[in-house]
Every structure is written in structure tokens, then in C-alpha cells.
Amino acid sequence: MPLTRFEKNLEDSTALLEKNGLAKGREKYIVRVAAPEGEKGPRFYLEGCGDRACLRMNSNSYLGLSFHPEVIAASEAAAAAYGVGPGAVRFISGTFQPHVQLEKKLAAFHGREDCMITSSAYTAIMGAIVTLATTDTIIISDELNHNCIINATKLARVKEKKVYRHLDMEDLERQITDSIGQCRTLLVVTDGVFSMRGISAPVDKITEIINGFNSHFARDIVLLVDDSHGVGALGATGRGTEEFFGARADVLVGTLGKAFGVNGGYIVSSAPVIRYLREKNPLYIFTNPITPPEAAAALKAVEIADSDDGRARIKHLREMTDRFTGGLIKLGFETIVSEHPVVPLLMRDTEKVNLMVRNLQENGILATGINFPIVPKGDELIRFQICADHTLHDIDYVLSVLASFPK
């Protein structure tokens, strides 16, 4: 039976997004990547753009590890040894040596007892929240948390869901106080780094507040931090938001698909938490893990991140970030200063954002326009992301192009 009315409704919705300039549209795909050459970092060629080389200022691959020859070699060797897919979920026959080695390495990297890898950070969060929260739990979540936290919270069958104002510690404290006597476990959830603006959650202050109230809850206050954008990019050795603030979450979620340059997600925590999740987390039990080549590549990437090579990359990343942020300020643009390689250029207007993104692309620069509803109205911005494979020449080129545009 033709779904005429159903499809018409969908078409009307997407047409409205397009009319309001909010549609993402069909993706432009990358057809070729050129290796770094001379003073230039890697360049990307997009379908339909002929031989215009693009500088990618919108990748999460903060440490530039996606093209690292040792990471690629690790992936190829694992594909030859184990095949390209796991062929089963973990508990049936889908656990390969690289999965186990990677979990050990990530647990050690974060100073935790154990680790569970998942097919993405999105599923790591969904699985952790849905599995750890019970009908005796109240979840308290920052209002600007990532979509995966919002959806996980919607899905979780809990006593109550509360939202505190973005980074507002007084509001968090108020909501914790209001929860006393209402539940046995309190689950406080926050992004480590808020990816639209590169701002971090003050994990030190959050843990201090939690410690002050923990005794009021029969089964503790549990802090869950999603540090997908922080790990690899923040802290002297890339341990992320925890290292930056000198504090620890009870359950930490990270991704293998951003600074580590591969794909997949993970949860690190104490042995009892991970043991329980292996028994109960549906997004671990009933869905395939990342592939053995991905796990082997990620293992190599974490090893590199945790070496002199990795620390040199972090240092360069920070220098390039400072140079770009400082350059934007000198040019009179509005930005937010932070150590994180997400550098927002606040335009505060959807049309201006879309025009600037098009202009940048015509000049061979890929950056992302972020409009409502991803950010609140009035906070529209262009998000630039600095990576360790950007060169001084690359950063100065982007600044020179921006200098030619009206503010």
C-alpha cells in the first residue's frame, strides 16, 4: 500500500527545515585525501568540487591519528589476522584479542579497574545510563548535555529526571538538596567538554558538591561524565577533563572516534560496575562490538597518545589552538577562549553563519555552521576544530581568509 499521507507529512517537515535554513542537506563526501606536503597539512577533495583542495577545520580527529602509519598498519594486520568483522556479539564468539587488549589499555590509561568497549560513545552512554539507573534513581543532567545523554535519560525508567542550568553549580546543588529523601541513588550526568563551544564542566566543583551530599543517599551519588571531546584533547597528557580539573568521575565515557582517530566508544569504571554492565547492558550484549581491525587500530592510537609522540601532538595542538583563538580576537571576532581545540566563532545569526560557511568553503576551508536547535537562538556559531596535523601555515591561511570577510 503506498504511504502517500505518511510520506507527505515527512516531506512537509523536511521542506520546513530547508525553508528555515536548518536542513543539513545531502552530505558532500570526500573522494580523495592528499597527504601533508611541505608547510601544508592534509587536504581533502570533495565530490563535485573538482580539484579544489580543502583544509578540514571540522574534524574531531584532534590528535591527527587517523592517518598515522602505525595505526593504519595495526588495522591492516588485524584485518589479515582476524578478518574485517566480529561475526558475533561479544558473549557469543565476537570477542577477539584486540578487544581485550584495548580494554586493558584504556582502563590503565584512565587509572581504572576495568573498561568496556562499545560500538560508539553514543551507545556507551545509552547503555550506561539505561542499565545503571533504576526506578529508585533520580537523574540530574546539565541542560546542554549531548543528545545521547538526553535520549538515554528519556529511555531510562527512573524515579525522576531533573535538568540543571548549564554549568550552574548553585542550581545543581539545589536540585541535589531537593532530591534528598526522594531516591536511593542519584545519578549526576554531564558532558566533560561541551562540544559546540569547547567549554568544560568543572568536574572538581561537581565532585566537591557530590561529596558534601553523598551521605544523604542510601546508594550514593554517582557521577557519570561523557568526555568524548575531552579525552586526548585536554590535560597535559590528554587524560581529558578529569586531568584538567584534577578530579575523577565514578563512570567515565569516552570515544575512540575523536582524538584517537578510529571508531567506537568505551566506559571505564570500577570492576563491579563494569562486571555488572557486561551482564546487563543491552547495548553491549545484543549488538556487535567494533571490528577487530578497529580495536587494533584504537589500541595503537591510545599507545601513541600515551607516548612522547602523543604528548608532542598535544603540545602542537595547543599551540595551534592558541594561535587561532588569538588570531580571531585580533581580527575582532567574538570567540570563547579555552584550552580545548573546539574554537567557536560566534555569529549569533543563522543567515550570517550559513553565508560565512559557504564563503569559507569557496576558499577551500571546511567549517561547521551550528544553528538552532543545536544551540539556543542567538548563540549561532561557526565551529572550528583544530587538529594536531594542522600546520602554522594552515592556521594562518584560515585567519587570512577570515580577515577578508566583513565581521
Residues designated as active site: 195, 229, 258
Min dist. Cβ of residue 224 to ligand PLP (A): 12
- Of 64 and 257, CB closest to ligand PLP: 257
Say whether residue 226 binds ligand PLP (CB under 6 A). Answer: yes
Say whether residue 284 binds ligand PLP (CB under 6 A). Answer: no
Binding segment for ligand PLP (CB under 6 A), chosen from 118-126, 178-186, 306-314, 328-336, is: 118-126
Report whether 217 contacts 136 (CB < 8 A).
Answer: no
Min dist. Cβ of residue 150 to ligand PLP (A): 11
Say whether residue 153 binds ligand PLP (CB under 6 A). Answer: no
- Of 179 and 269, CB closest to ligand PLP: 269
- Of 122 and 284, CB closest to ligand PLP: 122
Min dist. Cβ of residue 35 to ligand PLP (A): 25
Place of cell 577533563: 241
CA–CA distance, 124 with 269 (Å, rounded to integer): 12
Binding test (CB under 6 A) with ligand PLP, winner from 229, 239, 300, 390: 229
- Of 158 and 189, CB closest to ligand PLP: 189
Report whether 396 contacts 48 (CB < 8 A).
Answer: no
DSSP labels, 259-318: TT-S--EEEEE-HHHHHHHHHH-HHHHSS----HHHHHHHHHHHHHHTSHHHHHHHHHHH
Min dist. Cβ of residue 191 to ligand PLP (A): 5
Binding test (CB under 6 A) with ligand PLP, winner from 56, 68, 112, 146: 146
C-alpha cell at 204: 572538581
Say whether residue 327 binds ligand PLP (CB under 6 A). Answer: no
**Buried b vs exposed e over 320-341: b needs ≥16 C-beta within 10 Å?**
bbebbbebbeeeebebbebbbb
- Of 56 and 146, CB closest to ligand PLP: 146
Report whether 394 contacts 55 (CB < 8 A).
Answer: yes
CA–CA distance, 335 with 373 (Å, rounded to integer): 20
Given the DSSP bridges, would you call strands 381-385 and 368-370 parallel, antiparallel or unpaired? antiparallel
Min dist. Cβ of residue 151 to ligand PLP (A): 11
What value does the CA radius of gyration of the chain take, rounded to a whole number of Å? 22
Binding test (CB under 6 A) with ligand PLP, winner from 191, 242, 380, 389: 191
Say whether residue 148 binds ligand PLP (CB under 6 A). Answer: yes
CA–CA distance, 183 with 87 (Å, rounded to integer): 41
Torsion of CA 212, 213, 215, 217, to 10 degrees: -160
Q: Is 8 helix (H, G, I), strand (E, B) or coil?
A: helix
Binding segment for ligand PLP (CB under 6 A), chosen from 225-233, 285-293, 326-334, 382-390, is: 225-233
Report whether 366 contacts 55 (CB < 8 A).
Answer: yes
Say whether residue 289 binds ligand PLP (CB under 6 A). Answer: no
Residues 6+ apart with CB under 8 A from 37: none
Binding test (CB under 6 A) with ligand PLP, winner from 44, 109, 122, 384: 122
- Of 153 and 179, CB closest to ligand PLP: 153
Site for ligand PLP in 34-63 (CB under 6 A): none
Binding test (CB under 6 A) with ligand PLP, winner from 195, 207, 335, 338: 195
- Of 146 and 300, CB closest to ligand PLP: 146
Report whether 76 contacts 296 (CB < 8 A).
Answer: no
Say whether residue 254 binds ligand PLP (CB under 6 A). Answer: no
Q: Which residues bind ligand PLP (CB under 6 A)?
A: 120-122, 146, 148, 191, 195, 226, 228-229, 255, 257, 265
